């Protein structure tokens, strides 16, 4: 059942971006039952506003993630490299808007996101200007030198697609955001040389679970505190890395082993025995 936000007042996208753009932020992620997500929304009603565009309060997203043949973006995350990165296109299906986004790590564990407008028809590939943008972001963030950044950008190709529905909350007093994603689906795009738990293009969907992400400038927000009081703690889940670990069980996945075998255990229509090797380094 979709989340109900009828108890919340609305905010516009312009107001949200002006008040809480938070392109540099501290993120916390939680996996909670849909009933808990609804309780969270209801409990935040006095403090939060919900993003509404053309009377819509829930929006459909799709993302395509890019990595090198050696899966450097995944491996850097798996090995906790400080200068890790993530490259994706994100398409807002309700409006047709599309962006190319590069995420890197900033000071004290913060996430820095840079993005450029992108043509939706190019969402599943990187254009020349797109690769130049990625290279500039990687070099500017100190992930690697300029020449190596261009090599990484030139080698990127699509490896994973996701779709989900998102509800976005703004907590003005805390200068914070919270997003609640439901109906999350992963779909493998490659690479062909990896062992795959499912066939390319076959979707794997999370049912009855919401991914709640709080995005705060520094201190925990009322959304974090409400989840803690309900008994939930931040968990390791990355739409990219967790999806890759699930769909390619031979990849090193210690960082997400508990998430895949506990919080998400039994939610997928795949043979869970295929995840036994996830505990290998």
| pLDDT reported for residue 280 | 38
Integer Cα distance of 232 and 213 in angstroms: 12
| pLDDT reported for residue 83 | 83
Contact 212, 230 (CB under 8 A): no
Mean pLDDT is highest, among 77-86, 166-175, 246-255, 261-270, for 166-175
Higher pLDDT, 242 or 21: 242
Integer Cα distance of 171 and 180 in angstroms: 14
Q: Considering only CA atoms, give the Rg of the chain.
A: 18
**Tokens 């254009």 identify what position?**
127
| pLDDT reported for residue 73 | 95
| pLDDT reported for residue 150 | 96
Residue 182: beta bridge partners?
A: 165
Which of the four pLDDT bands, split at 50, 70 and 90, describes residue 269?
A: very low
Predicted model pTM: 0.85
Calculate the CA 148 to chain-centre distance: 26
The tens digit of pLDDT for each residue in 149-187 reads 999 999 999 999 999 999 999 998 888 899 999 999 999
Q: Is the pLDDT of residue 111 over 80?
A: no
Per-residue tokens: 247: 């769909």
């Amino acid at each position: 059942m979709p989340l109900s936000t009828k108890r919340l007042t609305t905010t516009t996208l312009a107001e949200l971006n002006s008040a809480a753009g938070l392109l540099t932020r501290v993120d916390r992620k939680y996996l909670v039952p849909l009933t808990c997500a609804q309780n969270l929304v209801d409990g935040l009603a006095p403090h939060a506003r919900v993003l509404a565009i053309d009377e819509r309060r829930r929006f459909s997203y799709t993302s395509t993630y890019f990595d090198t043949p050696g899966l450097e973006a995944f491996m850097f995350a798996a090995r906790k490299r400080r200068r890790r990165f993530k490259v994706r296109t994100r398409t807002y299906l309700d409006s047709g808007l599309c962006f190319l986004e590069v995420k890197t790590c900033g000071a004290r564990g913060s996430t820095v996101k840079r993005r450029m407008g992108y043509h939706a028809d190019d969402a599943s590939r990187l254009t020349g200007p797109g690769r130049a943008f990625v290279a500039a972001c990687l070099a500017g963030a100190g992930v690697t030198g300029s020449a190596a950044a261009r090599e990484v950008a030139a080698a990127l190709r699509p490896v994973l697609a996701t779709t989900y529905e998102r509800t976005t909350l703004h907590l003005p007093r805390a200068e914070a955001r919270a997003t609640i994603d439901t109906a999350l689906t992963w779909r493998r795009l490659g690479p062909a040389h990896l062992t795959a738990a499912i066939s390319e293009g076959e979707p794997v969907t999370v049912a009855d679970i919401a991914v709640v992400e709080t995005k705060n400038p520094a201190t925990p927000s009322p959304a974090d505190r409400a989840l803690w009081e309900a008994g939930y703690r931040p968990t390791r889940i990355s739409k990219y890395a967790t999806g890759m670990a699930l769909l390619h069980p031979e990849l090193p996945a210690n960082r997400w082993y508990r998430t895949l075998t506990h919080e998400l255990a039994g939610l997928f229509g795949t043979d869970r025995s295929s995840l036994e090797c996830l505990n290998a380094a």
